[in-house]
Amino acid sequence: MLFADISLLDKDFTFHEHRWVGVAEGRIAYIGEAAPPDEEAAAFGEVYEGQDRLLMAGFYNAHAHAPMTLLRGYAESLPLQEWLFGRVFPFEEKISGEDCYWATLLAAAEMARFGVVGFSDMYYHSEERIRAVVQAGLKMNSCEGLLAFEDKPYRAYPHFAHNEELVARYHGSDEGRIRIDYNIHAEYTSNPQVVADVAAIAQEKGLHIHLHASETRSEHEECKSRRGGLTPLQYFASLGVLDCPTTAAHCVWAEEADIDILAEKGVTVACNPASNMKLGSGFAPIPRMLERGVAVALGTDGMASNNNHDMMQDLYLLSLVYKGDTLDPSVVTPAQALYAATRAGALAQGRTDCGYLGRGAKADLCVLDTSGPSWAPATSPLYNLVFAGHGNDVCLTMVDGKVVYRDGSWPTLDIEQAKAKTSEAAKRIIASL
């Protein structure tokens, strides 16, 4: 595809008008102020007219539970521990692999609709989730959820053999779009031996770890009571987890010493502002993390605690809520928020050639329709994007140079079937509870 005479945001989030961008063999092969020579232009194939359009890097959702589309609108207005143990876990016990397939397919369609090109997912039935994502054409770092309540080593859990099979079979599959991470659900759902074992295996294999940490005040303080004063992040660090490339979701109650650890160990914090507010969990200290050089990425979390995968909604919240929280209107700039939503998420997945718009980068892109009234006047396009743009402005999403969503249609899947199958499964499960 050749994007012709289009506005764009470059890798530094600088706005440019009247640019031509050529995509070939899955990568951005041309960026110029004028059209390429006729022979070169013809090789790019379709010409996409860029009037009233903005081209930018696609979004990377750094923390998701895709099959939880099944729980959208379920277990509402509850604090986290009651929500999780009283409602979510009993529901999840009844979810089949086929349910996970359809729910993930629906989640992937929703993400693509809102410009998401890749996501980091923590859940069960990994084979079915991977099947759905491959069909949808997105990228995913998948990890199989690990709950380890029994006092026994990791290798004694069936999860160990299953995860090793997942790594051997799927890591790097679908031309690298699928990657397998290791998982520790949280401090309160694991034991020290399992945590240390997972850390050692992940480090040996050079793979990433995805976990929850300090999502609520009670989780954070109860960990300190159980673990001799250690916070969840200090606990994980003491067992070697953070010596691996790690994505730590939430970190709402991280302390100053925790922020030091995050910066020192190069941990990526997956901030989930919509979910954290909806569950009444609080606000992660993102401005202090950014000041200290902590890598911050952006996530939606699952649909039982956010209700949609619109990354531009979370982008808006990330840029806005900390101004009110700190009483400082200068914190979390649009560029910092956009970096969190794009490049930081890609790097957290280990995808060094993704998450930015530049020559040679993977063509993971989205196009926004800027013809609507909320985009005018374009006094500051970057601020328009973050504070006036909406997920519904996305009109095209491309992954590795292939279109996965365009103008209300998904070329690789049947959206109506995905909606119907997911709704049927949710009704069946709720009726059985």
Q: pLDDT digits over 92-147, tens only?
A: 999 999 999 999 999 999 999 999 999 999 999 999 999 999 999 999 999 999 99
**Same domain (yes/no): 48, 172:** no
C-alpha distances (whole Å) from 7 to each of 15, 47, 54 are 7, 15, 5
Q: Is the dihedral of CA 115, 117, 123, 128 positive or negative?
A: positive
**Same domain (yes/no): 89, 108:** yes
- Residue 202: burial class (beta carbons within 10 Å; 0-12, 13-18, 19+): buried
Q: Average pLDDT, stretch 254-268?
A: 98
**Which residues, 6 or more positions from 424, have their beta carbon under 8 angstroms from its beta carbon?**
none
Question: What is the per-residue pLDDT for 80?
Answer: 80
Residue listed under structure tokens 């997105």: 138
Integer Cα distance of 399 and 242 in angstroms: 30
C-alpha distances (whole Å) from 88 to each of 61, 148, 247, 310, 387 are 22, 17, 23, 22, 33
Q: pLDDT digits over 373-418, tens only?
A: 999 999 999 999 999 999 999 999 999 999 999 999 999 999 999 9
Q: Average pLDDT, stretch 48-55?
A: 98
- Residue 350: burial class (beta carbons within 10 Å; 0-12, 13-18, 19+): middle
Question: Is the residue at 266 inside a domain?
Answer: yes
pLDDT band for 332, please (50, 70, 90 cuts).
very high
Contact 302, 122 (CB under 8 A): no
Nearest-5° Cα angle at 169, 166 to 171? 75
Q: Which domain holds residue 47?
A: 2-57+363-406
Q: Average pLDDT, stretch 81-93?
A: 91
Q: Is the dihedral of CA 363, 50, 338, 115 positive or negative?
A: negative
Q: Please tell me what DSSP assigns to residue 189.
A: G
Please check the confidence at residue 189 and state whether its pLDDT lies above 90: yes
**Same domain (yes/no): 309, 384:** no
Q: Average pLDDT, stretch 5-29?
A: 97
Question: Is the residue at 420 inside a domain?
Answer: no
**Same domain (yes/no): 46, 177:** no
What are the beta bridge partners of residue 246?
Answer: 209
pLDDT band for 205, please (50, 70, 90 cuts).
very high
Question: Is the residue at 122 inside a domain?
Answer: yes
Residue 21's SS3 state is strand
The secondary structure element, H or E, covering residue 89 is helix 89-92
Please check the confidence at residue 190 and state whether its pLDDT lies above 90: yes
**Same domain (yes/no): 199, 263:** yes
Q: Please tell me what DSSP assigns to residue 362.
A: B
Q: Average pLDDT, stretch 216-241?
A: 98
**Same domain (yes/no): 53, 87:** no
User: What is the number of domains present in the chain?
Assistant: 2
Question: What is the per-residue pLDDT for 295?
Answer: 98
pLDDT band for 225, please (50, 70, 90 cuts).
very high
Q: Pick the closest to residue 356 from 52, 347, 186 (CA basis).
A: 347
Question: Is the residue at 354 inside a domain?
Answer: no
**Same domain (yes/no): 82, 120:** yes
CATH number, domain containing residue 108: 3.20.20.140
pLDDT band for 84, please (50, 70, 90 cuts).
confident
Question: Is the residue at 418 inside a domain?
Answer: no
Integer Cα distance of 213 and 341 in angstroms: 20
**Same domain (yes/no): 122, 205:** yes
Beta-strand runs (E) in 233-308: 246-250, 268-271, 295-298
CATH number, domain containing residue 8: 2.30.40.10
**Same domain (yes/no): 313, 373:** no
Question: What is the per-residue pLDDT for 195?
Answer: 98
Nearest-5° Cα angle at 215, 271 to 256? 80
Question: What is the per-residue pLDDT for 79?
Answer: 83
Measured in whole angstroms, the distance separating CA 158 from the mean position of its chain's CA atoms is 27
DSSP string, 363-420: --EEEEE--SGGG-S-SSHHHHHHHH--GGGEEEEEETTEEEEETTB-TTS-HHHHHH
**Same domain (yes/no): 204, 334:** yes
Question: What is the per-residue pLDDT for 401?
Answer: 98
Integer Cα distance of 12 and 141 in angstroms: 25
Q: pLDDT digits over 33-43, tens only?
A: 999 998 889 99
Please check the confidence at residue 81 and state whether its pLDDT lies above 90: no
Q: Return the higher-pLDDT residue of 196 and 151.
A: 196
**Same domain (yes/no): 31, 142:** no
**Same domain (yes/no): 224, 163:** yes
pTM of the model: 0.97
The mean pLDDT value of the chain amounts to 97
Integer Cα distance of 183 and 47 in angstroms: 43
